[in-house]
């Protein structure tokens, strides 16, 4: 691992994590066609740091939301144990309601745990990944044509966020863009376009953080940490955070203008080429 390769991986992570093109799908295709099957195993610690970098970019871009969510999370817990009981019609503060919506939207991910090995195994099926990329293109294409909604954190229902959470669970499949399918699902449920993007990225934080903790646990248990490469890894982490920040800005801009079509064409081209190449390259 060199500084150049670390920077390149940071750029790729920052772009693919947020743009609706499926980072897992691209990793699967890269592994299949360029013989890098063992990369994630040998560089697991670096993978964790790269995801940490893009997680930091979400924290920075939505720092006001993150601060309010953390504060209201603890205030909400305190209120549960408070002796002062409010009336049944008490209105939750907007940030506390958003915490509840994110928690509910995260629950469908637990449905993936029993089939976790099956989902990870799909990474090795280039035909599945290619078809999934084609499906992602269709999702993005139709998301541009959805009517603009008005729902925000104040008006979104539990059913709305459960369905968006189910979309996030589908987004664990390689080739299905998590950001693309969750933003599109939010638009389908009538979310304001800006809120659809905001909710998608805020909803990703507990999922990404939880996945990173589990991966870091495996890294520590296997002892796959080379401290001599830590400076190289940190450079890639910083690059991922910076690129990720601007990628979030770009997604917000394109979503507000209904311009996901370009990514749809990109996914169709990559999906079609890899599908044909999958039958040729063994």
- The Cβ of residue 209 has, within 10 Å, a number of other Cβ atoms equal to 13
> How many secondary structure helices (H) and strands (E) does the chain include?
13, 0
Is the predicted pLDDT of residue 69 greater than 90, yes or no? Answer: yes
Q: Which residue has the higher pLDDT, 17 or 181?
A: 181
Is the predicted pLDDT of residue 42 greater than 70, yes or no? Answer: no
The whole-angstrom distance between residue 256's C-alpha and the CA centroid of its chain comes to: 19
pTM reported for the whole predicted model: 0.88
Is the predicted pLDDT of residue 36 greater than 70, yes or no? Answer: no
pLDDT at 89: 56
As a whole number, mean pLDDT of residues 162-191 equals 93
As a whole number, mean pLDDT of residues 210-216 equals 79
Is the predicted pLDDT of residue 32 greater than 80, yes or no? Answer: no
* Entry field: residues in the chain: 282
d(CA 75, CA 93): 10
CA atoms within 13 A on the CB side of 76: 18
Lowest-confidence pick of 13-22, 75-84, 152-161: 75-84
Contact in structure between 23 and 16 (CB atoms under 8 Å): yes
* pLDDT tens track for 221-268: 776 677 778 888 899 999 999 999 999 999 999 888 888 888 999 999
Query: pLDDT band for position 209 (50/70/90)?
Result: confident
pLDDT at 37: 47
Is the predicted pLDDT of residue 24 greater than 70, yes or no? Answer: yes
């Amino acid at each position: 691992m060199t500084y150049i390769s670390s920077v390149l991986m940071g750029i790729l992570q920052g772009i693919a994590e947020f743009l609706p093109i499926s980072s897992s799908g691209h990793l699967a295709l890269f592994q299949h066609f360029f013989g890098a099957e063992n990369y994630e195993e040998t560089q697991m610690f670096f993978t964790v740091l790269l995801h940490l970098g893009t997680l930091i970019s979400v924290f920075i871009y939505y720092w006001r939301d993150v601060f309010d969510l953390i504060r209201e999370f603890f205030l909400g817990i305190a209120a549960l144990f408070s002796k002062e009981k409010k009336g049944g019609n008490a209105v939750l503060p907007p940030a506390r309601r958003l915490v509840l919506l994110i928690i509910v939207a995260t629950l469908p991910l637990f449905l993936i745990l029993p089939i976790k090995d099956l989902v990870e195994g799909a990474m090795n099926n280039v035909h599945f990944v290619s078809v999934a990329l084609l499906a992602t293109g269709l999702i993005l294409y139709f998301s541009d044509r959805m009517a603009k909604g008005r729902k925000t954190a104040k008006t979104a229902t539990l059913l709305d966020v459960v369905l968006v959470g189910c979309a996030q669970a589908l987004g664990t499949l390689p080739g299905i863009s998590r950001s693309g399918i969750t933003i599109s699902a939010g638009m389908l449920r009538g979310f304001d376009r800006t809120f659809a993007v905001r909710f998608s990225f805020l909803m990703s934080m507990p999922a990404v953080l939880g996945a990173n903790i589990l991966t870091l646990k495996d890294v520590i248990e296997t002892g796959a940490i080379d401290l001599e490469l830590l400076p190289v890894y940190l450079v890639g982490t910083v690059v991922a955070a910076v690129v990720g920040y601007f990628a979030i800005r770009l997604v917000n801009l394109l979503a507000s203008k209904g311009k996901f079509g370009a990514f749809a064409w990109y996914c169709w081209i990559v999906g079609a080429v890899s599908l044909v190449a999958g039958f040729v390259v063994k």
